[in-house]
Every structure is written in C-alpha cells, then in structure tokens.
Amino acid sequence: MSAEKPDEKVPAAPELSPLLEKVVSRLGDRVLEHHTARGDDRIHVARERILEAARILRDDPELSFDLLLDVTAIDYFGQPDNFEAKLQVWDRNRAVMRRLPQRRHELVLPPRGPEPRFAVVYHLTSTRLAHRLRIKCRVPEDDPKIPSVTAVWPAANWLERETWDLYGIVFDGHPDLRRIYLYEEFVGHPLRKDYAKHGEQPIQEYVGPGAKEPRRPH
Amino acid sequence: MAVQVVKVRRPAATFSSANPWIAILKGLWVSIRHFFGNLGLFLRGRQDFAIHFPEQRLVQPPALRGMPVLAQMADGKERCVACGLCEWACPTSCITIYPAETADEVERYPEIFDIDMSRCMFCGLCEEACPEEAIIMSRQIEIASYSRRGSLWSKADLLVPVDQLKTRTDYIRRNYER
Amino acid sequence: MLDPERKNPAVPIEGNQAAALEELHTPPMRLQFGPSHPATHGTVKITLDLEGEQVVWSDVEVGYLHRGFEKECETGYYYQNIPYTDRLNYSSPILNNTGYCMAVEKLFGIAPPERCNYIRTIGCELSRMADHMLCIGASAMELAAFTPMLYLIEGRELILDMVDSLCGARVTTNFVRIGGISANMPENFPEFARPRLDRALKLFEDADKLLTENPVFRQRMEGTGYLSRDDLIAWGVTGPMLRAGGEPYDVRKVHPYLVYGELDFDVPVGEHSDNFDRYLVRLEEFRQSRRIILQCLERMPDGPVDADDPRVRWPGKGRVFNRMEELIDQFKLVTEGGMPPAGEVYHAVEAANGELGFYIVSDGTGKPWKCRCRAPSFSNMSPLSKMITGGQLADVVPTFGMINMIGGECDR
C-alpha cells in the first residue's frame, strides 16, 4: 500500500472470479458491489431486492445455491463500513507523523461510515456445484428491517430468529419472529456493540398469557 | 464432483432378524462374552477397565495439564519476576499480581500472586506466555474446597519446589526449540 | 415386521377415528418435554400437543445453554478465544479448535507445515470417533439399551486417552494454535494409539452387534424422523443427517482442507433418510475415521509443527529465555495479540454433526470485530418440529438422539 501518496493510488480493476461472473450476469443491477478476497466471493445487494436475488440464486441451474448455511449480522457501530479504508487512513497518518510531526493538521480522521449501521450476511453453498457465496445487505439503524428469505430457504427460519434476538433486525414476512436464545421480556439486543459485555440486567417479569401478580415488590 | 461414496446397507433379512428371540439371544451372547471375560480377569486379580479411584490412580500421560503453580527455586524464592504476561494472556482473568521491588539480582518479585481457581480453566496459556518458566501447569488436579474462599490460592499455597515439577518441565522443554 | 419402506406414519385422523374423537371431546394434551428430561441428552424444551399418542403440533425451544460465545470472542485476543471453542461441541473439541484456528489462519494467509496438518487431522478424527460413540451410546440408552452405552463409553475413554496424550486434557483440549499446535506429538504415539484404536473398534463392533440386529432398536429407528432429501437441504441440514438422505455433501471431500485431499476414505451415504440410516452412517463414519488415522500415522512426515510466522506464533521458549528480540516479540504478541489485516473470512470444516463454519470479521486490531460460529447442531435442530409432528410420541426420542444436538454448540 502506498501510504505516502494515497491520492495517486489507482485501484486496479477488480477481476471477476468465475463464480462472480456468473452471479453478476444473472443478477444484473441487483448486485451493488462484488469482491473476491482470500478465496471468498462476496456480493452486496440492496435490502429491498434480497428476496428476488435469493430466488434467482436458488433456482438458476448454473448457480443452484440450494443450501443456506448461515444468516447473521454485523454491527459496524461507529466504524467505517470499510475497514480497509480506515487502515489506509491510519497508515497515512502514521506516515505524516513520521516525516513531519509539525504538520499535524494534515491528519485526517478515518471516514465515518456513511453506510447504514448494520449488515445482514448470508452464506450460501450449492450441494451440486460446490461453490460458496456471501451476500451482504446494509440495514440502517433507524429502520432495521429486511425481507425474510424464509420462503426461499426454510433454513432461514431459526437463523433469522437468532439475528433478531441478538441484533434486533426485523425480518419482514417471517412466519414466527420470536426470540430464540433469550426470553421474550429481555430488554436490548446483546450482540449490538452498544450493549456492554458485562451489562447485567435483572430477570424481567413474565408478561405473557397466564402471568401472575408480580412476585417481588417493586 | 466425484466423491468416493459407500452406501450403507441395512442388514438383510436373515433367519435371526425374522425371529426376534434369536436376535436378542445373539445380543445376549455378546454381553455374556464380556461378562465372562471380565470375570476371568477379576479372578486373576486384574481389572479390565474400571479404576477404583481413591485407592487407585489413573496413570496420567506426561502431557497432563493440572493446576498452574509457581516454581520455587532451591533458595525458597519464586522464580517469577512479576512481569504480568500470564495476567495478560489469561482468558478468564483469574490471575492477580502486585509486583514489588527487591534487592536481589532479579530486582522484581510478586508481592501478591493470587489465582482464583474457581475461574481457572486449565488452558495453559499462562504457562505458554511466561518468559521465565515460573508458572507451570503441575500434575495436581484435586483442588476441590469447601468454600469459595478456599478456591483463592495465594502465593504461599502456589509455590512448589522445581524438582517436584520435573515431569512437566521435561515435557514442555521438548517444545522449546521449535 | 421390519418394513424398510415405512415412512413417517403421519396418519390422518379420519373415518371412525374422527367420529370417535368428535364424540369424546378430547382436546389435545399439552406435554412439556424437557428442558431437563432423562431421554434427551441436551437441555432443550419441546412442547408437544398430543392426540392420543400422535403429535399434532410441536414447538422446539433452545437457548438454555446460551453463554454469549460470540460476545465473549469480540473482547478477547485471537489466541485467547481458542479455549472457548473447546466449549462449543464438548464431545469433539479438537474439531472446533481446528475450525477456529484455520479461519484465523485464512485471515492471516498462513499455511501451517505438513506435520502440523497431519497431527491436526489425527486430532480431528479422534474427536469425530469420540463424538459418534457418544451419540450412538446415548441414543441407545435413551431407547433403554444400556449395555451398548457401557461399551461405547469404554471405547470413548480409550480414544480420550489418546487425546490426553496429545494435548494433556481429555475434553478441554485447547490443542490447536493459530499457525501450529500447542505441543508436538509424543514420539511413541503410533505405538500407543494402534492397540487402543483396535480395542475401541472391537468394543464398537460389539455395540454394533447388540444394536443393529436388535428388533426393538430397529423398530424404533426405522422409518421414524423421516425428512426428504430436498427438505433436508432446504432446512440447512448438514453432516450425517444429510448424508443419510443420500446427498454426499462432506466438506472434507467438497472443499478439502488439512490433508484430507491426499487421504483415501469413503463418504457413507444412506438412502432412506430415517433414523436408522443416520445410525448406520455414523457407524460407517467411525470406521472411516479409524482408517484415516491409520493412514496419517503411516505417512506422518518429520519437520516443524509451527508455521514460521512471527505475526502469530509465539517464539520458542528456548529463544525467549536467552535473546532480547524474541523476548520483546513474546511480550508484544501476548499483550497485543497477532494483528491480522482487515477483512473478513468464512472457513468451514466438517465437524461430527455437519459443517462447522467460522465467519470472522477483522478490523485490523488484535481482537476480532465479529466472530460468528455457524453451528451444525443449530441448523440441524431447526427442522425437528417438522420431523416429529405427525409421528408418535415415542419417535421424538430417537429422532432427537440422532440429530445429536450438543447444547454448547447449538446455544453457544
């Protein structure tokens, strides 16, 4: 990485892997971005179009992504969505400090994520063709909603419930969106970065059907 | 894709599977064989498998990771220099060290060295991190106590003479030059 | 009696039976199966609605063992999370260690040396053997066959002896390191392992003889828990359950890692996709694992066991004691962790119950930004409700046993 002259760095045109070529040609403009890093192929899809993209990915005979391995989310809380960009800025700052500490005003802050806070991540594979793909959909904090893919892959049922439980992302159209690990009355979503690791909360009272009088005086 | 596949077959219908009693007798024959095998060993004074714990002990391999202890040198002092690496490496933060200064050659020693054994999970990362071979996973594994307070081991409890830790030190020294 | 074509007996209630039910006015009985039930080897609550003996509605509730593995991983250095992965699937811990460490190695771009890969393969297959023994033994015991459990636990102890001699612990192994393993294999390990493998196989065959032809066992396993191959794939089921449905999806063959590409072993597949086939697939996988271990012991190369990469692997103690640079290196690595480049990886290994994947997002610091574990038990459990609804109450136990849900991994 040429940390000295970040402006002159021309990013090389990303080369498409054979799988991504097929995926991009099938999905067309539904693919916002695509990357190949460390042997993993990744595409970004707008959250409104995830359901149609999912149907194409499953039903196209040359893609045939029939096995949904994983659904999870990432919380980019207070971070630029692109860690690589942050590192570039850090490297540049370090280079500035090393050469001319008096030019401290040239330091720049890492770009704050203009992108939405959450990303929902799907991992797919094909049992027949044995390739893997990762799909990312950005989900903003103030409207954490994304269409559910349960109709395409029933495997998403529990995985989406888990993502709702731990990240608080609502899956529209999910048949049974309950918490799966924690109990219904739990306050907050513990895998969000603003939920403290040692954040304890007292056991919340059960409020569902058949709830009795509160056992403890408040 | 060519995957070497072997198809599992259900046992074909035979005389024994058609007659449940014969299948059960065949199963019983296995148990009876085991019974007489064990009985024969017992009569010859040998046990097949079980270990009667308080009287007999399992022979543990040299790799055994027991509870972490502090190595005590011949002069009665600990080898630890209170650098705090084990404290850093410990995933469960069960080690507490307060360093102090001494007039000796090493200049530093731990004034307090506590290990909360109720948190310790015997992972051995402290031993791997230690740059002095001062904290060593001993072969001691019976550390139950009657109270929570009893699980807090202080420096005086943890010191063990080096020559008693020979099995373990010999074992870890095999991996020193890698 | 042994009708292999018997599928899930989802008998619709009709005719005289329906009229009788109408007359009797019996509402479905609500049965709470669990959370701690002697016939489930895991803490899980299954709520069942019963019409007589038939399950008409069911709901599966997991999460009783949720410990926040992923949250904990975000606050520890990469090397500090390895002991936590032991606690995911506690009946085959080395597989989890390997899965996590290989994901981190992929992030760093490290390739461990050959000998390390062979030793890891041995550890993985030993774990798989122990897991299958426990699964079959526990399932048999839940079906009231106690003796096979004793033989299999005895065999499992022999296998754990080998794990013990490799890494010094039987269950909480903490064996694999990023870019290496914690200790080299003992010199006498092949001589130590071969007789034990033979004896474990003998005990395993005895349990096989007791169970496979036993009419009670077969009647309870055959035809129960049926799920078609397409349903298995749609519900994200992997591992022995998927292979029992006739789909030869095995990560060891499809995306070979470690040294599996060079070894000669078969993938067992079933055809009926019921509990008995899942049992038979596990039996066969045990034998294949033994074959893999024997091949590894034969081909074991000499050489170092640690990748020579100063970013992750702590320097040897011999140099730490005597040289300044390595001492500083040790301090830096312990207090800062190894710092991988920013990015994200997904790496999967074939665990005993299916595909175990780790999805790690790094922001360039010594701690993972996110460490996601794709647990096979969790995905395998999700169609349980579908599998048991419409069947008999007695079929819940073998179906649950053959899923082999491990609470530590399912609930994380």
Provide the pLDDT for residue C266. 87
CB distance C165–B61 less than 8 Å? yes
Q: How many CB pairs under 8 A join B and C?
A: 159
Q: pLDDT tens-digit profile of A113-170?
A: 556 888 899 999 988 888 889 998 988 888 888 999 998 999 899 999 999 989 989 9
Nearest CA in chain B to C158: B49
CB C67 within 8 A of CB C79: no
Nearby residues of C261 by Cβ (< 8 Å), 6 or more positions away:
none
Greater model confidence, C265 or A211: C265
Helices (H), C179-274: 189-212, 215-221, 229-234, 240-244, 251-254
Provide the pLDDT for residue A100. 55
The CA-based angle C72-C75-C80, given to 5 degrees, is 80
CB C352 within 8 A of CB C377: no
Helices (H) then strands (E): counts for chain A:
4, 7
| B48-62 mean pLDDT | 80
CB A177 within 8 A of CB A160: yes
Nearest CA in chain B to C270: B8
Contacts of C106 in chain A (CB under 8 A): 38-39
The minimal CB distance from C334 to the residues B30, B122, B129 is found for B129
Contacts of C210 in chain B (CB under 8 A): 27, 30-31
The Cα–Cα gap between C281 and C269 comes to 6
The CA-based angle C408-B128-C320, given to 5 degrees, is 155
Q: How many domains does chain A have?
A: 1
B44 CB-contact burial (10 Å; exposed 0-12 / middle 13-18 / buried 19+): exposed
CB distance C75–A197 less than 8 Å? yes
pLDDT over threshold 70, residue A79: no
Provide the pLDDT for residue C131. 92
Q: pLDDT tens-digit profile of B36-45?
A: 888 888 888 7
Provide the pLDDT for residue A123. 92
Q: What percent of chain B has pLDDT over 70?
A: 92
| C189-209 mean pLDDT | 89
| C235-258 mean pLDDT | 88
Provide the pLDDT for residue A3. 41
pLDDT over threshold 80, residue B55: yes
The Cα–Cα gap between C321 and C346 comes to 37
| B6-33 mean pLDDT | 76
Task: Count CB neighbours of A209 within 10 A.
Answer: 5
Q: pLDDT tens-digit profile of C54-75?
A: 888 888 888 888 888 888 888 8
Provide the pLDDT for residue C404. 86
Q: How far is A26 from chain C (nearest CA, A)?
A: 22
**Which whole-number Å values give the CA distances from A91 to A5, A98, A151, A181, in the listed order?**
11, 10, 45, 41
Task: Determine which of A95-99, C29-33, C42-46 has the lowest per-residue pLDDT on average.
Answer: A95-99
CB distance C383–A84 less than 8 Å? no
In a domain, A178, yes or no: no
Provide the pLDDT for residue A71. 92
Provide the pLDDT for residue B128. 87
Q: How far is C401 from chain B (nearest CA, A)?
A: 19
pLDDT confidence bin for C412, thresholds 50/70/90: confident
Subunits with 3+ Cβ pairs within 8 Å of B are: C
Provide the pLDDT for residue A105. 59
Q: Which amino acid is at C274?
A: D
CB distance B60–C331 less than 8 Å? no
Provide the pLDDT for residue C64. 87
Contacts of C344 in chain A (CB under 8 A): 37, 40, 42
| A57-64 mean pLDDT | 86
Provide the pLDDT for residue A108. 60
Contacts of C272 in chain B (CB under 8 A): 10
User: Is the peptide bond preceding residue C35 cis, with omega within 30 degrees of 0?
Assistant: yes
Q: What is the mean pLDDT of chain B?
A: 83
Provide the pLDDT for residue A92. 66
Greater model confidence, B176 or C153: C153
In a domain, A197, yes or no: no
Task: Determine which of A98-112, C18-32, C335-349 has the lowest per-residue pLDDT on average.
Answer: A98-112
Task: Annotate A49-114 with three-state secondary structure.
Answer: HHHHHHHHHHHCCCCCCCEEEEEEEEECCCCCCCHHHHHHHHHHHHHHHHHCCCCHHHCCCCCCCC
Provide the pLDDT for residue C358. 92
The Cα–Cα gap between C110 and C131 comes to 29
The minimal CB distance from B7 to the residues C254, C269, C304 is found for C269
The Cα–Cα gap between C137 and C130 comes to 10
Question: Is A175's Cβ below 8 Å from some Cβ in C?
Answer: no
**Which whole-number Å values give the CA distances from B70 to A134, B161, C136, in the listed order?**
48, 8, 43
pLDDT over threshold 60, residue A97: no
| C229-243 mean pLDDT | 89
Q: How far is A127 from chain C (nearest CA, A)?
A: 6
pLDDT over threshold 70, residue A184: yes
The minimal CB distance from A155 to the residues C247, C363, C379 is found for C379
**Which whole-number Å values give the CA distances from C194 to C95, C190, C250, in the listed order?**
21, 6, 26
Provide the pLDDT for residue A217. 46
pLDDT over threshold 50, residue C147: yes
* ipTM for the complex shown: 0.84
Task: Determine which of A88-92, B77-81, B87-91, C401-405 has the lowest per-residue pLDDT on average.
Answer: A88-92
pLDDT over threshold 60, residue C222: yes
Contacts of C382 in chain A (CB under 8 A): 154-155, 157-159
In a domain, A12, yes or no: no
Nearby residues of C96 by Cβ (< 8 Å), 6 or more positions away:
C85, C86, C88, C89, C351, C356, C409
Q: What is the mean pLDDT of chain A?
A: 77
pLDDT confidence bin for A63, thresholds 50/70/90: confident
Q: What are phi and psi of B164, to 5 degrees?
A: -80, -10
Provide the pLDDT for residue A142. 82
Indicate which of B7, B9, B92 best probes the interface with C, i.e. most C CBs within 10 Å of its own CB: B7
Torsion sign over Cα A75, A76, A81, A85: negative
Task: Count CB neighbours of C184 within 10 A.
Answer: 18
The pairing of beta strand C267-269 with beta strand C343-351: unpaired
Contacts of B85 in chain C (CB under 8 A): 330-331, 334-335
Segment A173-181 long-range contacts (CB within 8 Å, at least 24 positions apart): A173/A147, A173/A148, A174/A148, A174/A150, A175/A150, A180/C61, A180/C62, A180/C63, A181/C62, A181/C63, A181/C66, A181/C411, A181/C412
Provide the pLDDT for residue C122. 92
Nearest to C252 by CA among C66, C98, C409: C98
Nearest CA in chain B to C212: B11
Provide the pLDDT for residue A7. 44
Task: Give the end-to-end CA distance of chain A in Å, rounded to a whole number.
Answer: 60
B99: its two tokens = 């360093």
Q: How far is C321 from chain B (nearest CA, A)?
A: 6
The Cα–Cα gap between C39 and C393 comes to 12
Q: How far is CA C78 from the centre of its chain?
A: 22
What one-character DSSP code corresponds to residue B71? E
pLDDT over threshold 50, residue B10: yes
Q: What are phi and psi of B26, to 5 degrees?
A: -65, -40
In a domain, A98, yes or no: yes
Helices (H), C28-113: 69-74, 82-86, 93-108
Nearest to B110 by CA among B71, B148, B150: B71
The pairing of beta strand A40-45 with beta strand A132-139: parallel
Q: How does DSSP assign C274-294, residue by residue?
A: SHHHHHHHHHHHHHHHHHHHH
Q: C111-335+386-410, what's its fold?
A: Cytochrome-c3 Hydrogenase; chain B (1.10.645)
CB distance C182–B128 less than 8 Å? yes
| A197-217 mean pLDDT | 64
The Cα–Cα gap between B168 and C160 comes to 20
pLDDT confidence bin for C121, thresholds 50/70/90: very high
Q: What is the mean pLDDT of chain C?
A: 85
C274: its two tokens = 């019921």
CB distance C254–B31 less than 8 Å? no
CB B40 within 8 A of CB B145: no
CB distance C63–A181 less than 8 Å? yes
Task: Count CB neighbours of C3 within 10 A.
Answer: 9
- Give the range with max mean pLDDT: A29-43, A63-77, A91-105: A63-77
pLDDT confidence bin for C227, thresholds 50/70/90: confident
pLDDT confidence bin for C360, thresholds 50/70/90: very high
Q: Domain residues for A59?
A: 18-172
pLDDT confidence bin for C2, thresholds 50/70/90: very low
Bridge partners of C33, per DSSP, are C46
CB distance C335–B85 less than 8 Å? yes
CB distance B4–C265 less than 8 Å? yes
Q: pLDDT tens-digit profile of C177-188?
A: 888 888 888 888
The minimal CB distance from C168 to the residues B64, B129, B173 is found for B64
In a domain, A35, yes or no: yes
Q: What percent of chain C has pLDDT over 90?
A: 15
pLDDT over threshold 50, residue A5: no
pLDDT over threshold 60, residue C251: yes
In a domain, A113, yes or no: yes
Contacts of C369 in chain A (CB under 8 A): 74, 79, 83
Q: What are phi and psi of A86, to 5 degrees?
A: -65, -40
CATH of the domain at A55: 3.30.460.80
Contacts of C269 in chain B (CB under 8 A): 5-8
Q: Provide the edge-to-edge strand list for the sheet that holds B68-72.
A: B135-137, B68-72, B159-161
Bridge partners of B78, per DSSP, are B72
Contacts of C254 in chain A (CB under 8 A): 130
The minimal CB distance from B8 to the residues C164, C284, C314 is found for C284
pLDDT over threshold 70, residue B115: yes
Helices (H) then strands (E): counts for chain B:
6, 7
| B42-54 mean pLDDT | 77
What one-character DSSP code corresponds to residue A115? S
CB distance C168–B137 less than 8 Å? yes
Subunits with 3+ Cβ pairs within 8 Å of A are: C
pLDDT confidence bin for C3, thresholds 50/70/90: very low
Q: How far is A126 from chain C (nearest CA, A)?
A: 10
CB B65 within 8 A of CB C169: yes
CB distance A67–C255 less than 8 Å? no
CB C391 within 8 A of CB C55: yes
Greater model confidence, A13 or A106: A106
Contacts of C169 in chain B (CB under 8 A): 64-65, 122
The Cα–Cα gap between A83 and A88 comes to 9
The Cα–Cα gap between C157 and C200 comes to 9
Nearest to A82 by CA among C139, B48, C369, C308: C369
Nearest CA in chain C to A40: C345
Nearest to C411 by CA among C157, C61, C107: C61
- Angle between the N-to-C axes of helices C114-142 and C146-167, in degrees from 0 to 180, rounded to the nearest 10: 160
The Cα–Cα gap between B90 and B120 comes to 9
| B93-108 mean pLDDT | 86
To the question of pTM greater than 0.90 for the whole model, the response is no
Q: How far is C197 from chain B (nearest CA, A)?
A: 15
